[in-house]
Amino acid sequence: MNSNMKVLITGSEGYIGLALVRKLVSSCTVVGVDLRRQSAPVDGYTFVEMDIRATELAELMAREQITHVVHLASVMQASPNRERDYDIDVNGTRNVLQACTHAGVSHLTVTSSGAAYGYHADNPDWLSEDDALRGNATFAYSHHKRLIEELLTDYRVQHPELQQLVLRPGTVLGRSTNNQITALFRRKRLLAIKGSPSPFVFIWDQDVIEIIYQGVLGAKAGVYNLAGDGAMTINDIAAALGKPLLVLPAWLLSSALRIGHAIGLTQYSAEQLDFLRYRPVLDNSALKSEFGYTPMKTSHEVFDYFIEHNLKATERSE
């Protein structure tokens, strides 16, 4: 164990957070903050119930002599209260950054997202870390990730003493993943937009945990896309699931969403059609050549694993 390394994890009680806690405690002291405790006690892990927006966060980091911070806390599923989500995501990250600089933290890891690039018709076929971040204002999650990364960029200039490792995962899948995207895969038939391949890049949750772990222990800095090799189109996904594909023209879907949103049948607006139509496809070259990590599973292997250990396991238990 490295007695000089003390890691604080925000969002430590989420499934990535808890897995990271269990991996890190054998190497260093770990402190976690989250809104409530979900886990049983773990030796070497101190949990503190705290909102990432709390002014006490800086005091906690200073008192615990934190050297490394892993910022995982984020609003994963948008709520009707967008101002609240912004406050948690953007102002919460600002508070984490201010606390780090106040407490003299030397290294910060932030999980951003490939969504920060935005969903645009003119996105390159494969997005690299040098491409512009244009997270759409229409999608709160995408927009907030872009704003967070702009904040991180400012801090890299103003506070170079705080090393940053910024990770942009594609769609994370694993044994227990359950979110808005996986809900799409559970439907009886998948929806496709005519003329749009809607490619997905997947990253195994165990790869994400290992990358964060290596990044923290190695105090690595830089910005990296996280994705398994290759991509899967919506046709590939439907074939892997053995489900039919409903292909509709964009104008028809747009009209249906516009009417449905206006009368309150759906939270999704016509503009959000771009979420399926122009998905960002992440190039993982820098992860392999510069960070020095090759994902254990390709995008297709991640999806196969998800089908076998998540979808089928759920079906067997029902």
**pLDDT of the chain along its 318 residues, tens only?**
666 899 999 999 999 999 999 999 999 999 999 999 988 888 999 999 999 999 999 999 999 999 999 999 999 777 778 999 999 999 999 999 999 999 999 999 999 999 999 999 999 999 999 999 999 998 999 999 999 999 999 999 999 999 999 999 999 999 989 888 898 899 899 988 999 999 999 999 999 999 999 999 999 999 999 999 999 999 999 999 999 998 988 888 878 777 765 676 565 666 668 888 999 999 999 999 999 999 999 999 999 999 999 887 766 555
288 found inside a domain:
yes
35 found inside a domain:
yes
303 found inside a domain:
no
Domain hosting residue 141, numbered range: 6-180+202-232+281-297
Q: How many domains does the chain have?
A: 1
154 found inside a domain:
yes
> What is each CA distance from 165 to 106, 162, 311, in whole angstroms?
11, 10, 32
3-state secondary structure of 166: strand
> What is each CA distance from 273 to 36, 106, 121, 184, 197, in whole angstroms?
35, 41, 12, 14, 13
- In this structure, what are the phi and psi dihedrals at residue 248, rounded to the nearest 5 degrees? -125, 150
293 found inside a domain:
yes
| Burial 96-108, CB ≥16 within 10 A → b, else e | bbebbbebebebb
1 found inside a domain:
no
CA-based end-to-end distance of the chain: 43
Could you tell me which of 173, 165, 166 has the C-alpha nearest to residue 207? 173
- pLDDT confidence of residue 314: 66
Q: What is the largest CA-CA distance in the chain?
A: 60
- pLDDT confidence of residue 248: 87
Could you tell me which of 254, 154, 171 has the C-alpha nearest to residue 207? 171
Strands 163-169 and 190-193, by their bridges, are unpaired
187 found inside a domain:
no
Q: Is the dihedral of CA 269, 143, 34, 211 positive or negative?
A: positive
307 found inside a domain:
no
Cα R_g (the chain), whole angstroms: 20
Q: Is 222 exposed, middle or buried (0-12, 13-18, 19+ CB in 10 A)?
A: middle
Q: 35: domain CATH number?
A: 3.40.50.720
